[in-house]
Structure 1
Amino acid sequence: MQSNQPEFMGIDTRVVAPDVEGGKAVLIDIREKDERAREWIPGSVSIPLSEWRSADLAPYKGRRVVLHCRSGNRTVVNAPLFVEAGFSDVAYLQGGIEGWKDAGMPVTRNRKAPLEIMRQVQIAAGSIALAGGLAGYLVDPFYALIAAFVGAGLLVAGTTGWCGMARLLAHMPWNRQPST
């Protein structure tokens, strides 16, 4: 049985770049704001996946929509959401922003922006687990419970999608957006 839903496909940077630059296609960055704050493709539009249902998509109807994330994996999974929202010409940027950079295309960088929350979680969790493991080995086996606690937190985050450490880190002063 054939579906009436439009198809979506991956598209190479070199193929889509002229259409984006010429206004024939709109490049939509589906990464979260903390990811985009550090690096983005000039002229791309930010519609984070967490906000896309409430976003005003009307200005992009009737144009080719090319979605991108960091590596392309999220766009492959989520491009059907845009098809379901009524877009008839949806594609995803193969390789995401990393593929864009690999093709020698320009990106804008803000090195003063904090690292993405999930990278901060990885650094903090890894540091705490390492310290707990070392203290458990060198000082007292009781300290190994620190590493077990961090491991349990990561297990909960991975299985539920809720990460307490990410929520805590999001409220740290270096992650607060300046008021404008």
Structure 2
Amino acid sequence: MKTYVLGGGCFWCLDALYRKVRGVTDVVSGYTGGSIPDPDYDSVCTGTTGHAEVVAVTFDEEVVPGEVLLDMFFSQHDPTTLNRQGYDVGTQYRSSMFYRDEDQRREFESALERARGNWKDPIVTEITPLPRFYPAEDIHQDFYAKRPGTGYCQVIINPKLAKARKYYSEWLQD
């Protein structure tokens, strides 16, 4: 098993996507990359903690290659916008990849290079060592499955899932 820690805007979007991927055994929404211990949603939303909203995605490489998960990451958010995704603005929404070791750093850099050809503007995704990961509050775990009718899920997450089904259907379970 391997775990990637990735930030692509609001963690609800990546959480919803990766929970549908065959071979993913766990997805935990959380916070990392900041300066204060034990952050919570309210403090992270101020944009003053330095933490990013991220997901820790654990998967079985024998079922789904890491490259597929990383390519999904770059297709499911705009890695060319600094500290924002759509209407979500602030450093907590930055495009980010947090590596555990040098092998993972190289994987992330390779994925970023593959993604460059898909974007007109330069990619601003940060690739940095993983500091401590803090799981988010229970309300943020599997948010989409628990609240599919909310406006955010309907307007923001559903189109992203439709895009994923279009390009990655062979890797998804429904």
TM-score, normalising length: structure 1: 0.29
Which has the larger Rg? 1
Q: Which one has the bigger helix percentage? A: 1
Query: Larger relative CO (CA 8 A, sep 6+): 1 or 2?
Result: 2
